[in-house]
Amino acid sequence: MNIYRFKMTLIYAGLMLFAWACTNQTNQKTSMKPPVAKKIPKELTIHGHTRIDNYYWLNERENAEVINYLNAENAYTKAMMKHTEDFQKKLFDEIVGRIKQTDESVPYKSNGYWYYVRFEEGKQYPIYCRKKETMQAAEEIMLNGNELAKGHAYFQFGSLSVSTDNKLLAYGVDTVSRRKYTVYVKNLETGELLNTQIPNTTGGVTWANDNKTFFYSTKDEVTLRSDKIWRHSLGSDPKTDVTVWFEKDDTFSTFVYKSKSKKYIIIGSQSTLSTEYRTLLADKPNGEFKIFEPRKRDLEYSISHFEDRFYITTNADGAKNFKLMVTPENKTGKNNWMEVIATRSDVLLEGIEIFKDFMVVEERSNALNNLKIINMKTKEEHYLDFGEQAYSAGVSVNPDFDTEILRYEYTSLTTPNSTFDYNMASRQKTLMKEQEVVGGYDKNNYNTERLFATAADGTKIPISLVYKKGLKKDGNAPLLLYAYGSYGYSTEPYFSAARLSLLDRGFTFAIAHIRGGQEMGRQWYEDGKLLKKKNTFTDFNDCAEFLIKEKYTSNKHLYAEGGSAGGLLMGAIANMRPDLYNGILAAVPFVDVVTTMLDESIPLTTGEFDEWGNPKEKEYYDYMLSYSPYDQVKAQNYPNMLVTTGLHDSQVQYFEPAKWVAKLREMKTDNNLLIMDIDMTSGHGGASGRFDRYKTTALEYAFILNLENILK
Q: Which of 542, 684, 688, 692 is catalytic?
A: 684
Q: What is the Cα 542 distance to its own chain's centre?
A: 25
Residues 362-395 pLDDT 10s: 999 988 999 999 999 999 999 999 988 889 999 9
121 has a pLDDT exceeding 50 = yes
Residue 661: predicted pLDDT:
98
Residue 17: predicted pLDDT:
32
* CA gyration radius, the chain: 26
Residue 606: predicted pLDDT:
80
Average pLDDT for 171-196: 92
Same-domain status, 161 and 289:
yes
76 has a pLDDT exceeding 60 = yes
212 to 109, 110, 158, 498: CA distances (angstroms): 23, 19, 20, 44
Same-domain status, 170 and 185:
yes
- Residue 649 among the catalytic residues: yes
Residues 136-178 pLDDT 10s: 999 999 999 999 999 998 888 999 999 999 999 999 999 887 7
441 has a pLDDT exceeding 90 = yes
290 has a pLDDT exceeding 50 = yes
Residue 545: predicted pLDDT:
98
CA dist 87 and 432 (Å) reads 36
Residue 443: predicted pLDDT:
95
Average pLDDT for 84-98: 96
Average pLDDT for 246-264: 96
Residue 678 lies in a domain: no
- The residue from 269, 299, 329 where one domain ends is 299
Residues 534-556 pLDDT 10s: 999 999 999 999 999 999 999 99
Average pLDDT for 622-642: 98
SS3 509: strand
Q: Which of 564, 628, 682, 688 is catalytic?
A: 564
Residue 682: predicted pLDDT:
66
Same-domain status, 239 and 216:
yes
Same-domain status, 379 and 396:
yes
Residue 61: predicted pLDDT:
85
Q: Which of 592, 649, 677, 679 is catalytic?
A: 649
Residues 218-249 pLDDT 10s: 999 888 899 999 999 999 999 999 999 999 99
User: Is the separation of the CB atoms in 288 and 307 below 8 Å?
Assistant: no
CA dist 158 and 142 (Å) reads 14
CB atoms within 10 A of CB 338: 10
393 is in which domain, residue-wise?
Answer: 344-438
User: Is the separation of the CB atoms in 284 and 263 below 8 Å?
Assistant: no
Residue 72 lies in a domain: no
Q: Which of 12-16, 116-120, 671-675, 682-686 has the lowest mean pLDDT?
A: 12-16
DSSP H helices, 450-533, are: 500-503, 522-526
Residue 363: predicted pLDDT:
97
φ/ψ of 641, rounded to 5, equals: -140, 135
Same-domain status, 190 and 174:
yes
pLDDT grade for 653, boundaries at 50, 70 and 90: confident
Task: Give 424-433's long-range contacts (Cβ < 8 A, gap of 24+).
Answer: 424/355, 424/357, 424/358, 424/360, 424/373, 424/375, 425/357, 427/382, 429/384, 432/106, 432/407, 433/105, 433/106
Same-domain status, 160 and 282:
yes
Residue 683: predicted pLDDT:
61
- The residue from 419, 438, 457 where one domain ends is 438
Same-domain status, 134 and 265:
no
**Strand 290-291, strand 275-281: pairing:** antiparallel
Residue 566 lies in a domain: no
Residue 182 lies in a domain: yes
Residue 31: predicted pLDDT:
63
